[in-house]
A and B are shown apart, each in its own frame.
Chain A
């Protein structure tokens, strides 16, 4: 596959296409490292994979129009709502093996818009997986 420049990415929050208000997406999936080291001749540690924490961080431009970023995110956070999230690299194509969709039920545990004079109004929103299915990539 060719290298790519992220330009046409797709971000959908609670079924609303917020792509035009997003400029950065960062996904993370981490298994907790559980130390199960015992005495051994080399002194090396031994770990097992424990619980998994998955989240995706999106940098949004603040926008306060009807149905836009604030209207979408604020109440999802306030009401502790579990909602659908989707991201895929190319919004002009359906999900596929070469355009995998990151999907899951998530919660917005913190909502922290903020501004600096003279700068673009941006803030990070962290969407945390909210059920056992987690946040993962799908080809369809």
Chain B
């Protein structure tokens, strides 16, 4: 997923952001291109997700015996509180 830091360089608001301000957004690529060509915004910085596309939990965090049910007594709900 790609985000960007954009700056509004036109005299008009862009997506509700005032001229001269910077905002972080994930824009549709075609809309982004149009806005840059028109001179509404400029891309200050491209931000890519730090999370790799495939990842694993650290060793020992989960295994094949893991279930979604909490062990009996893991939490207590008291009536009336």
Contact = CB atoms under 8 A, between A and B. Distances in A.
Q: Tell whether A pairs with B.
A: yes
Contacts of B16: 17
DSSP majority for the B interface?
Answer: loop
Contacts of A71: 38-39
B55 to A, nearest CB: 34
Contacts of A54: none
B23 to A, nearest CB: 11
Interface stretch (A41-49, A62-70, A111-119, A129-137): A62-70
A52 interface: no
A16 B14 contact: yes
B13 A17 contact: yes
A81 interface: yes
Contact of B31 (A14, A18, A20): A14
Contacts of A72: 38
Contacts of B40: 15-16, 67
B43 interface: no
Nearest to A79: B34
B81 to A, nearest CB: 35
B34 A67 contact: no
A84 to B, nearest CB: 8
Interface in B18-71: 30-31, 34-35, 37-40
Given A81-B34, A83-B31, A17 B39 contact: no
Interface string A18-33: 1010000000000000
Contacts of A66: 10, 38-39
A67 B15 contact: no
B11 interface: yes
Given A18-B12, A67-B9, 5 more contacts: A16-B13, A16-B40, A65-B11, A67-B38, A71-B38
